[in-house]
Structure 1
Amino acid sequence: MKTEIETQHLTYFLSVAETGSFRKAASRLNVGQPAVSRRIQRLEDILGVSLFERRSTGARLTTAGTCFAARARVIVDDLRAATDTARGAGLGENGYLRIGVIASLSRGPLRQVLESFVDSHAYVDLCIAELDRGQLLTQLSHRRLDLVVAPGKPDHESGDGLILAHERVYLAVPSDHPLADRQGLRWSEVLKETFVVSTQEPGPEIHDYLVRNLSDLGRTVQVRRHSMGREGIMSLVGLGFGVSLVADHWLGVRYPNVTFVPIGNDDEIVPFSMIWRPENDNPALRRFISLARIEAKRSGALS
């Protein structure tokens, strides 16, 4: 004989407790009164106690029934919340999304996508991490991250991807530097400058970018590496330690005594890409990718 309490037992019991009547509970549940009576009787048999005092005027909770009602309500409410949470996670309305970045969130397409995602998915737990590229790709591979956003074209060996944006490159110079008033610069005009870059991401990529653009101009690139983050490097620029490079999306932050001047030809751009694992079925990730595609089309990075 079955002795387990079923959800329907609790639902019928609470309906009688709330309405104070077997007849009214049956009407609310859209079932016959005998069905309600049988369920309540079965529940009382399982528990071994009377839950209601049956009267001609209705049903009133016993002392045991009152204690049971308080706990039963919590169980039913928790079950309903768990059901809603699971369904919402399946639709990408809640759950979690873990993003690794080598980028500034101060402005640009990534910021736009994040703002749109947060506005429409307020109950998704969003976690963002800044690490070196190797660490980010390792965590992506092991599903500790859902998505990586970094400079460069998508590395399809690491997963699926799309180019989110193409951005101009700027030279960060002290505001009292002779180049600060220029509307644009050529690479040949910065051959004598000392560049300060971080040993952290995206410092190594900036170093490689400098070498590619200056090595053919007949002069060794003067680079000073510092174990500092982006804010620290910009502070060094402002203090006159040298100049550095940034992409357009870094321009949303202002630093003391630092001016940003476009460098290179007008068509000289740097791609920023998103990478994710194709087998990752996280609904929140799929919603984020959909918003990113919309933004990439708007910015012209995706046709």
Structure 2
Amino acid sequence: MTIPKNSSGTWRKRRYQRIEIFDLEVLVLAAESGSFRGVSAQVGVGQPAVTRRIQKLEDTFGVSLFERSPTGVRLTNAGWRFLCRVRRILSELKLAIADVETAGVGGNGEINFGLTDSLSNGLFHQILSEFFDNHPEVQPNFVQADLGELETLLNHRMIDILYGPVNTSFTDSDILPVANQQIYLAVSHNNGLAARQWVSWADVAGLVLMVGTEDPGPVFETYVRPGFRKHHDGIKVKRHNLDRKGILNLVEMNLGSTLIWEDPRRIGHNDLIYIPVLEAGVAQRIQYSLKWHAKNDNPALRRFISLARIKAKKNGALS
């Protein structure tokens, strides 16, 4: 066989383009039945058409795939090696087709979530539970990071959706307000503020707040620090290389206090006092929202967002 003088890569590309999926399916059936006549009966075409399919493959590769005899056909060594790989290719192709077909009806999909906080956040926790109870075929994947990192992951489509205290939207993204989380001051029973029914930002400004590695910095910058600035006080923060549980343990020992914006009932630390933060009688809250790319056509994600809209509206987050 003479290879044309132009690029051998181009020549290979052209000859491979001649191969059709049906050619490979005929090859598999011929190997299983041991005769071209048997394939003809299974697929409903004439035996000459089956023979031409096999011959096309053999001419394309320049090798014989079957040994012919009056009693039938048998794979050559090259034919056997090719068949083993073809079976895997066809199997993967069938799975890929099934995935695409079922994805449109809420089938085998996945949603990649980005979180700034733990999953103890009340309404979001409920939305997740209900969605995956109703769609067990959808695979959830979670990553927890600060808001800036999650914005980057979302922008590069490494996650489908993020949940956190977002209040701005970049181009081609949508935001759904889900919940307004009450801000609480967490103190020990021995703290001087433990008996208070509520505290103001002026009260909090006189304390040393402890934060850990899981506390999202942008939350303080967006929501907490302005509260202190109203009183011309500087925020006093002591950062420890501890997770949220470790920080709460320090609070229990009366080594300081901390702010939380989760449902205290879900935190699981019942030995502390959680005091609402109010300003001029108004509860201080942090708005938590879902954020995703408007052009993300993940069917599972769209169903999740639909449920979230319903829940957010019932919760009063949407007007």
- The alignment's TM-score, normalised by the length of structure 1, stands at 0.75
Where does residue 306 of structure 2 map in the other structure? 290
For 2:236, what is the secondary structure of its paired residue? strand
Residue 115 of structure 1: CA displacement? 3.8
Counterparts of 2:107 and 2:258, CA distance in 1: 41
Of 96-105 and 162-171, deviating more is 96-105
CA contact (8 A) 2:40 2:50 kept: yes
Partner residue, 1:18 = 32
Q: Pick from 125, 143, 167: which aligns with 1:128?
A: 143
2:119 is the alignment partner of 1:105: yes
Equivalence for 1:81: 95
Deviation track 1:254-302 (CA, whole Å, cap 9, x = no partner) reads: 2374343444468654321122333444545434423322332343323
Task: Give the match for residue 70 of structure 1.
Answer: 84
Partner residue, 2:168: 155
Shift of 1:233: 2.5
Within-5 A mapping of 1:173-252: 173-177=187-191, 184-187=197-200, 190=203, 194-198=207-211, 201-203=215-217, 205-206=219-220, 209-210=223-224, 220=233, 223-228=236-241, 229-249=243-263, 251-252=265-266
Count of paired positions = 297
Kindly report which structure 2 residues correspond to 1:1-40, keeping only aligned pairs within 5 A, or say none.
4-40=18-54
Name the SS for the 1:76 alignment partner.
helix
Q: 2: distance between equivalents of 1:166 and 1:275?
A: 15
What's 2:6 paired with? Answer: none
Does the CA contact (< 8 Å) of 2:120 and 2:266 recur in 1? yes
Distance 1:68 1:146, change over 3 A: closer
Structure 1 runs (4+) deviating above 6 angstroms are 89-92
- Of 63, 84, 91, the residue aligned with 1:48 is 63
Distance (Å, rounded) in 2 between the aligned partners of 1:188 and 1:75: 64
Using the alignment, how far apart are the partners of 2:33 and 2:57 within structure 1?
18
SS in 2 for 1:194: coil
Moved more, 46-55 or 7-16: 46-55
Distance in 1, matches of 2:15 and 2:234, equals 81
- 1:55–1:115 CA distance, 2 compared to 1 (3 A): farther
Residues in 1 aligned to 2:33 and 2:108: alpha-carbon distance in whole angstroms: 34
1:107-133: per-residue Cα shift (whole Å, max 9, x none)?
A: 4222333445555265647242312x3
- Structure 2 gaps of 5+ residues are 1-13
Distance change >3 Å, CA 113–CA 72, structure 1 → 2: same
Is the contact between residue 235 and residue 256 of structure 1 (CA under 8 Å) also seen in structure 2? Answer: no
How far 1:204 moved relative to its partner?
Answer: 5.5
Instruction: Report sequence identity in percent.
Output: 33
SS in 1 for 2:117: coil
**Which structure 2 residues correspond to residues 137-148 of structure 1 after superposition, within 5 A?**
137-148=151-162
Question: Where in structure 1 are there 5+ consecutive unaligned residues?
Answer: none
Relative to structure 1, the CA distance from residue 193 to residue 267 in structure 2 (aligned partners, 3 Å threshold; closer, same or farther) is closer
CA contact (8 A) 2:182 2:262 kept: yes
User: 2 CA distance for matches of 1:34 and 1:250?
Assistant: 76
| CA–CA separation in structure 1 for the residues paired with 2:162 and 2:297 | 16
Deviation of 1:21 after TM superposition, in Å, equals 4.1
Give the CA deviation at 1:87: 5.3
